[in-house]
């Protein structure tokens, strides 16, 4: 199938004719140029996906410097256009110099048709990959700007949350790796977005990866990308999350769910600051700010041999622990008021108030799902309410969620197991309903059920 457009620049008309006949079978558009002097005006009119550029144009000169000059001119006009250089006068030193200055490949005349076509198609795939990265980054930047405009976060007045906010503002301006810990629903992703907003990288993207939802078989492809043909389903080149986040922030959520075997691959990338796509051998340098999050006790996992200690040191230059909602009761009335105003406006309701009994009921509740559960509870009550005063009967709190178990001497994993067991009983093993209630993805829920043998 013909795809893309190619611009061929060569002062030999026989070469141009031969290449046109050959490449019309592979490219949708073939443009010929006999002199690079017309290059500037032509590139203002068209944007080729690939450029095939001769290196010598003046009679008696075969140094290749002309080709290098026009290569730099093309890169000035559009740095993303792949340029393949070809010449009859080649040596290793010139080839290395060309690649260092941005050429995607170097072909020697007389060329082998199969090798030339393979090189040009690889250059086209590179162009498509760069377009994908650019589109992804533009889309994410728009999303980030929208999120930044909507930073109407209710932090609360409790000392623990105030300390957390001060720490966040202090470390946001650095490039230190940050590990955010806390129970499900405490707002780890909100903190990650706020750090990005306050950082010097706030005009770049924040890319989020749910590590609990990435299968082992697709881990490298998802994070590092792959090239076409590297495995059965690799029908096109793919840009990985690391490359997409280059210059910005990469947020690895649920880092504690990453298998031990994959932790070594992640550590290697974080140490070398470069990735290699699946099926390729060319390292790609990366510049990211790393933020990770987990609801698991990584120190305990290290002791059990389930998490690499060297990876833990690498990701938690700064650790931020978000306290559960039950430990900052004085923030609950503020959060309720915040969500009441937010959802009353969203659902076009008049100003809604709470009875004193409703406030007491919500404040006394244990909130195992933390702020996320409180948010959903208030939203549901507003949607279903017929009056502008919400009473105790407007808030449905499952009695099984009113934790009677003493959690004081239990580990976080033991608490998590109990919560999942209760959710399984309430929802009759409906995984979608359970995942929604607990505020996690289905793959994450499935892995936890498997982990706890539930």
273 and 348 within one domain: no
CATH of the domain at 105: 3.40.50.2300
Residue 146 lies in a domain: no
Residue 13 lies in a domain: yes
Angle at 232 between CA 229 and CA 233, to 5 degrees: 90
Lowest average pLDDT, out of 248-252, 276-280, 336-340, 416-420, goes to 416-420
Lowest average pLDDT, out of 22-31, 250-259, 266-275, 388-397, goes to 388-397
Q: Is the pLDDT confidence value at 150 over 80? A: no
Distance CA 280, CA 128 (A): 16
Read off the pLDDT of residues 195-230 as tens digits, 9 standing for 90 and up.
Answer: 999 999 988 889 999 998 888 888 999 999 888 888
Confidence at residue 217, expressed as pLDDT on a 0 to 100 scale:
83
Confidence at residue 360, expressed as pLDDT on a 0 to 100 scale:
87
Determine phi and psi for 323, rounding to 5 degrees.
-70, 145
Read off the pLDDT of residues 240-287 as tens digits, 9 standing for 90 and up.
Answer: 899 989 999 999 999 999 999 899 999 999 999 999 999 888 889 999
Read off the pLDDT of residues 37-63 as tens digits, 9 standing for 90 and up.
Answer: 988 889 888 889 999 999 888 877 778
Give me the domain span that covers residue 166.
151-321
Residue 234 lies in a domain: yes
Helix/strand/coil for 309: helix
CA 85 to chain centre: 34
Q: Is the bond leading into 228 cis (omega within 30 degrees of zero)?
A: no
314 and 172 within one domain: yes
| Top-confidence residue, 69 or 126 | 69
Selection from 413, 443, 449 nearest residue 429 by Cα: 449
432 and 385 within one domain: yes
Confidence at residue 407, expressed as pLDDT on a 0 to 100 scale:
54
55 and 164 within one domain: no
383 and 429 within one domain: yes
Distance CA 85, CA 10 (A): 11
Q: Is the pLDDT confidence value at 128 over 90? A: no
Residue 56 lies in a domain: yes
Residue 144 lies in a domain: no
76 and 97 within one domain: yes
66 and 177 within one domain: no
Domain total of the chain? 3
Residue 252 lies in a domain: yes
Residue 69 lies in a domain: yes
Q: Are strands 249-253 and 50-54 parallel, antiparallel or unpaired?
A: unpaired
305 and 195 within one domain: yes
31 and 106 within one domain: yes
What is the C-alpha R_g of the chain?
28
Distance CA 179, CA 270 (A): 14
Work out the average pLDDT over 166-174.
94
167 and 123 within one domain: no
| Model confidence band, residue 143 (pLDDT cutoffs 50, 70, 90) | low
The residues with which 276 forms a beta bridge, in sequence order, are 283
446 close to 436: Cβ distance less than 8 angstroms: no
Residue 312 lies in a domain: yes
Mind giving me the DSSP string for 352-397?
-EE-HHHHHHHHHS--TTHHHHHHHHHHHHHHH-SSSEE-GGG---
195 and 57 within one domain: no
To 10 degrees, what angle do helices 113-149 and 188-198 make? Answer: 100
State what percent of residues in the chain have pLDDT above 70.
Answer: 92
Work out the average pLDDT over 113-136.
83
Q: Which of 276, 306, 321 is the last residue of a domain?
A: 321
Distance CA 56, CA 261 (A): 51
Q: Are strands 50-54 and 83-87 parallel, antiparallel or unpaired?
A: parallel
**Helix segments in 65-187, DSSP class H:** 65-77, 92-100, 113-149, 159-172
Sequence length of the chain is: 454
Confidence at residue 305, expressed as pLDDT on a 0 to 100 scale:
94
Q: The pTM is what?
A: 0.62
Q: What is the mean pLDDT of the chain?
A: 86
352 close to 336: Cβ distance less than 8 angstroms: no
Longest Cα–Cα distance of the chain, Å, equals 94
């Amino acid at each position: 199938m013909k795809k893309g457009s190619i611009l061929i620049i060569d002062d030999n008309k026989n070469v141009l004719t031969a290449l046109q006949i050959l490449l019309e079978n592979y490219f949708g558009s073939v443009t010929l140029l006999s002199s690079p002097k017309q290059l500037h005006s032509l590139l203002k009119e068209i944007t080729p996906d690939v450029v095939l550029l001769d290196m010598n144009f003046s009679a008696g000169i075969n140094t290749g410097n002309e080709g290098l000059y026009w290569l730099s001119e093309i890169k000035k006009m559009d740095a993303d256009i792949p340029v393949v250089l070809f010449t009859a006068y080649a040596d290793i030193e010139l080839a290395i110099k060309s690649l260092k200055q941005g050429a995607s490949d170097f072909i020697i005349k007389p060329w082998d048709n199969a090798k030339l076509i393979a090189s040009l198609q690889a250059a086209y795939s590179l162009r498509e990959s760069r377009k994908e990265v650019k589109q992804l980054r533009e889309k994410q930047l728009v999303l980030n700007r929208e999120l930044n405009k909507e930073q109407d976060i209710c932090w609360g007045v409790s000392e623990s949350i105030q300390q957390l906010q001060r720490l966040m503002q202090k470390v946001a301006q650095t490039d230190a790796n940050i590990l955010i810990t806390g129970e499900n629903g405490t707002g780890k992703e909100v903190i990650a977005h706020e750090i990005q907003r306050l950082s010097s990288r706030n005009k770049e993207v924040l890319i989020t990866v749910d590590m609990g939802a990435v299968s082992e078989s697709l881990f490298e492809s998802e994070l590092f990308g792959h090239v076409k043909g590297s495995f059965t389903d690799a029908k096109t080149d793919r840009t990985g999350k690391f490359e997409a986040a280059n210059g910005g922030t990469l947020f690895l959520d649920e880092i504690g769910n990453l298998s031990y075997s994959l932790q070594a691959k992640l550590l290697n990338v974080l140490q070398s600051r470069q990735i290699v796509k699946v099926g390729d051998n060319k390292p790609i340098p990366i510049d990211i700010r790393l933020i990770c999050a987990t609801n698991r006790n990584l120190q305990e996992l290290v002791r059990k041999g389930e998490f690499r200690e060297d990876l833990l040191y690498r990701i938690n230059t700064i650790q931020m622990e978000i306290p559960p909602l039950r430990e900052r009761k004085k923030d609950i009335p503020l959060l309720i008021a915040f969500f009441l105003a937010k959802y009353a406006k969203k659902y076009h309701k008049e100003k809604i108030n709470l009875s004193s009994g409703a406030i007491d009921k919500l404040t006394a509740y244990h909130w195992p799902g933390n702020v996320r559960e409180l948010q959903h509870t208030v939203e549901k009550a507003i949607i279903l309410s017929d009056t502008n005063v919400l009473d105790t009967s407007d808030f449905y709190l499952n009695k099984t969620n009113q934790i009677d178990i003493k959690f004081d001497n239990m580990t976080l994993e033991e608490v998590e197991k109990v919560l999942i067991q209760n959710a399984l009983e309430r929802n009759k093993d409906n995984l979608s309903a359970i995942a929604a209630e607990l505020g996690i993805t289905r793959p994450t829920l499935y892995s936890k059920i498997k982990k706890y043998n539930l």
